[in-house]
Chain A
Amino acid sequence: MSSTSVYPTPINAFKQSKRSVLSVIVDNEPGILARIVGLFSGRGYNIEALNVTVVDIKNNLSRITIETLGEEKVISQIIAQLEKLVPVHSATNLANLSESYEAEICLVKIEFDNNEQDQKILNFADIYRSRTVQKRQNIVVYEISGTSERINKFLDDLNTIGGIKVELVRSGPIGLGT
């Protein structure tokens, strides 16, 4: 099952891929991130994106979301290895849940020269329902969220506009089973 975007996607950008998003609940203690990152590098797995934040202050828990690539067999092995780490409560492949939601946030700064470019940018921003964070003269900053594919598509569309300068930051995907 692919995750459903928290925002609707204009066209179906989902493709068959070996990408997986793993959600890991851990005790928030020193060294836990190093343990996880070390496990991936030591065993030759890839980390495409990584997100770590405390989610439960009372119980001192963090949720780590890892985007990785690999065959199903490799992903199962990664999960088994993660669950062997002492501070790990659980590791879940969101794709294995019957239903899960996924989102990523991206801030995009766009510099443009002329009105035509501005109109095209506005148009895409509208289609993708991105939020204007700041706009002044020839610079605009948008915030867009949704699945990573949705953000990729938005960025692909922006790139069809010639002559603009784009700078961006992405959070990497986060996800939740329901």
Chain B
Amino acid sequence: MDNENEFTGADILLKALKDQEVDTIFGYPGGAVLPIYDAIFGQNFLKHVLVRQEAGAVHAAEGYARSSGKVGVLLVTSGPGVTNVVTGLTDALMDSIPIVCISGQVPSHLIGTDAFQECDTTGITRPCTKHNYLVKDVSKLSETIHEAFKIASSGRPGPVLIDIPKDVQFAKSKYIPKKDISFREHRIKAGSKNVDKNFVQELVNHIKKSERPIFYVGGGCLNSGPQASQEIIKLVNKTNIPITTTLHGLGCFPGEDKSSLGMLGMHGNYEANLAMNKCDLMINVGARFDDRVTGRLDAFSPDSVKFHIDIDQSSINKNVKVDFHTNTDITLTLKEINSFIESNNIELEKKDYTNWWSQINDWRKKECLHYEQGEETIKPQHAISRLYDLTSQKDTFITTEVGQHQMWAAQYYKFSKPNRWITSGGLGTMGFGMPAAVGAQMANPDSLVIDIAGEASFLMNVQEIATAVQYKLPIKIFILNNEYMGMVRQWQELLHGSRYSESYVDALPDFKKLAESFNAVGVRAKNISELDDAINEMVSIDRPVIADIWVDKKENCFPMIPSGAAHHEMLLSKYDKEKPENQEKGKVLV
């Protein structure tokens, strides 16, 4: 008995996606999602991007989400389809990226029988999602999808998975639109909407009292929305307080501004880490005291009063004990701080922290990012600097893989706007950048999207170049090719007596020919005289391009706080003779 108000599960999914204003979905078909693919075939609001492996779909969804501020969506089949996205889901969980993953499941009556392409999807993905569902009843499907989108994007964002058995995709029920769903507050966990006035007052009092304050800004500032970035710029300008950002905080504050100390942490700037070590007031805005940032915990910023704004309660006092904290949204809290300062006519301008800034400027004189570019071999740092100089006039989105090139990109490419920098920070997923560039280009069709890559990472998801070609996405893969897993080699050099065990990448493909075989374009720069031409050619071609940049094979990434060392125990360059104190202890750390 057909009722015209009833739809199949597959159609309900499509209606819900439309209701959620989803216009792009990354996916790969298979047996357990064929009804959904059938529904996709007969519609035109949703653009499906066929990836070449499911890992590509999840990183593309992450790149889409990070570059657009919207929820990224992907669709995969049961069994191997969904196990292939486990890395990406974990990546999105670590880096707080809102994505919704739809997975097919074997029909309900086969669940538990070790059926073909069956796996315990909700069991496998439970620890790597913010939440997940197995939908056993089609009448619950609409509500589940809407709740999934709400959870993915609320509070601290993250990945949500919905597992839909094939029979549920065929079964019929009514569709419940988003507007008719009343969400239960305890499940959404959106964080408080009330600004903590005491926190704001305490903070302003401490700003007035402090001699050596610093803002320490993380990815939470990005996730709170572009307005958060505006508010932090306003606050820094008003207070003249120096600001350092984490890897994910890059772009929340203009990197070329005089108040910016750049990135902090393991490969952060000398002045940023020293300022963190010596400050008397630390204002943490949406960062989580990650081990890559803090260095040795018992020596982390010993003399500061610490304030922490983070929507995630579990980030408070997890690694570092703070003196004051609030769980209210960053934008709301920063707005209140700004208006508190304005409405009370608090004269902060007079307090320009002269001594503090002169101390910081002394640290800056170390020129921790200095490198010597010779006549012949391209220094990787120089390649990024030139890339920045030749592309910064455009609205450019940078994605990266993981390793030395990623840190050099963070150090030498300057970001002036949020959401332009898309990298795998928490999980450190090699192979992230190219599919993420596919996602970023889908979300920003008219912008320049560049994946700054290493040749080893690039090979991990190399198949996605076909996706870029199929959808005419003119992404640029800028490979700093040193024929090594550079960061592995660097650690082996520093901590394992230069025994380069398995870190040399032998039998590399000819990346130019590789590009051509995919119907993309390959360019190459073998030495310094070819670098600018290669970059300009890469940027000018309106097709996917792989640029193979041959760089100095032995270059290491400095400055560096070795594992187990503190902020003030940085290694400055390979010419620096000082060895870290805890080298043996550091060896067991990551």
Q: Give residues in A with beta carbon < 8 Å to B.
A: 27, 30-31, 34-35, 38, 42, 73, 76-77, 80-81, 83-90
Distance of B391 from chain A, by nearest CB (Å)? 39
CB <8 Å contact, A88 and B312 = no
In the complex, whether B492 has a CB less than 8 A from a CB of chain A is: no
In the complex, whether B212 has a CB less than 8 A from a CB of chain A is: no
CB <8 Å contact, B130 and A86 = yes
Interface segment, one of B50-58, B119-127, B550-558: B119-127
CB-CB under 8 A from A30, the residues of chain B are 134
Whether A38 touches B127, Cβ cut-off 8 Å, given contacts A73-B317, A84-B312, is: yes
12 additional A-B residue pairs with CB within 8 Å, beyond A77-B317, A85-B131? A30-B134, A31-B126, A34-B123, A35-B126, A73-B321, A77-B318, A80-B313, A81-B314, A83-B189, A86-B131, A88-B186, A89-B186
Chain A residue nearest in CB terms to B134? A30
CB <8 Å contact, A80 and B314 = yes
Whether A84 touches B314, Cβ cut-off 8 Å, given contacts A27-B187, A30-B134, is: yes
CB-CB under 8 A from B321, the residues of chain A are 73
Q: Which residues 377-413 in B have Cβ within 8 Å of A in the complex?
A: none
Q: Give residues in B with beta carbon < 8 Å to A.
A: 122-123, 126-127, 130-132, 134, 151, 186-187, 189, 312-314, 316-318, 321
CB-CB under 8 A from B187, the residues of chain A are 27, 86-87
CB-CB under 8 A from B189, the residues of chain A are 83-84, 86
CB-CB under 8 A from A81, the residues of chain B are 314
CB-CB under 8 A from B132, the residues of chain A are 31
CB-CB under 8 A from B130, the residues of chain A are 86
CB-CB under 8 A from B131, the residues of chain A are 85-86
Distance of A154 from chain B, by nearest CB (Å)? 39
- CA of A30 to CA of B189 in the docked complex: distance in angstroms? 20
Chain B residue nearest in CB terms to A73? B317
Whether A86 touches B134, Cβ cut-off 8 Å, given contacts A34-B123, A81-B314, is: no
CB-CB under 8 A from A87, the residues of chain B are 187
List 13 contacting pairs A-B, 8 Å CB cutoff, sorted by A. Answer: A30-B134, A31-B126, A34-B126, A42-B127, A73-B317, A77-B314, A77-B318, A80-B318, A81-B314, A84-B189, A86-B131, A86-B187, A87-B187
Distance of B449 from chain A, by nearest CB (Å)? 33
- CA of A76 to CA of B189 in the docked complex: distance in angstroms? 18
- CA of A34 to CA of B314 in the docked complex: distance in angstroms? 20
Residue from B131, B186, B318, B321 whose CB has the most chain A CB atoms within 10 Å: B186
Chain A residue nearest in CB terms to B155? A84
CB <8 Å contact, B316 and A80 = yes
Partner of A83, one of B123, B127, B313: B313
CB-CB under 8 A from A35, the residues of chain B are 126
CB-CB under 8 A from B186, the residues of chain A are 88-90
CB-CB under 8 A from A80, the residues of chain B are 313-314, 316, 318
- CA of A28 to CA of B455 in the docked complex: distance in angstroms? 49
Distance of A62 from chain B, by nearest CB (Å)? 14
CB <8 Å contact, A76 and B317 = yes
- A-B CB proximity, top 3 nearest: A80-B314, A86-B131, A80-B313
Residue from B127, B134, B312, B316 whose CB has the most chain A CB atoms within 10 Å: B127
Distance of B401 from chain A, by nearest CB (Å)? 27
- CA of A81 to CA of B315 in the docked complex: distance in angstroms? 9
CB-CB under 8 A from B316, the residues of chain A are 80
- CA of A38 to CA of B128 in the docked complex: distance in angstroms? 11
